[in-house]
Amino acid sequence: MTSTPGSAGPTAATTPPPPDPAERVRRFSGAERWVHRTTATLMLLCVASAACLYVPQLAELVGRRHLVVTVHEWSGVLTPVPFLAGLLSRAFRADLSRLNRFGPHDRQWLRAVWRRDHRPEARPAGKFNAGQKLYAAWIAGAVLVMTGTGALMWFTGVAQLMWRTSATFVHDWLALAIGIVLAGHMAMALADPEARRGMRTGSVERHWARSQHALWGEDRAGSRSPGPVRRTRAGVTTPDAAPRGVAETPE
């Protein structure tokens, strides 16, 4: 092929090749990402509308209190719906099974966090680390409590005044706790771009998966939990049954 004058200009710079798909591994299915995004949207609506109801400055700025109350009530009622719809997905159910298992390596991960040991080999994790498992359990319980107390506050005729007063107290203070925990969750997500990319695109770099979730290959739904991690002579930490690779999430 012959070149034309000026073809060696700035546009002739070498373009880096696209990343090799083999270097990425599937982490979340489309259904799981939909559940996460929809639940996050509904919870943010709940928190934002609650702030507009309880913070005087925001209430004056937004106005239209009846509309804000309606948005808060219905976003709260709909928050569990994405989770229930996600149960139709085999990948979602498999990850729920992973989140519900807490093994010796998770205790080792928590001890490393307590000691502020940030070395990857000191924090062994399957597909989900111990912090993610605790967060998932806490937020699931909080949603149930918020839904129950919110229903008592919404339908004032179904409960006694004492019950409604107690429900209001629990609802308000738990809402504050949820706001703080969600802020921490988002801060940790902002600090880990590859984790965010995994939730956005469904896949992560294989190197990141092996570094941050070294036991992922052993942490499959229906299999036994990985044992405690031990250090080899080569300085590599492995579980009692070393993983042969990072398992891909089924569709």
Q: What is the tens place of the pLDDT at every residue in 93-114?
A: 999 999 999 989 999 999 999 9
User: Residue ranges of the chain with pLDDT lower than 50?
Assistant: 7, 11-12, 221-251
**Closest Cα to residue 98, out of 237, 187, 227, 216?**
216
DSSP assignment letter at 120 = G
pLDDT value at residue 63: 79
pLDDT value at residue 29: 93
pTM, to two decimals: 0.74
pLDDT value at residue 135: 94
| Residue 15 token pair | 């373009």
pLDDT value at residue 153: 85
Cα dihedral 153, 165, 141, 75, rounded to 10, equals 20
pLDDT value at residue 236: 40
Q: Are 83 and 93 in contact (CB under 8 A)?
A: no
The whole-angstrom separation of Cα 121 and Cα 161 is: 54
Q: H or E stretch including 224?
A: none
Q: Are 89 and 31 in contact (CB under 8 A)?
A: yes
**End-to-end C-alpha distance for the chain, whole angstroms:** 46
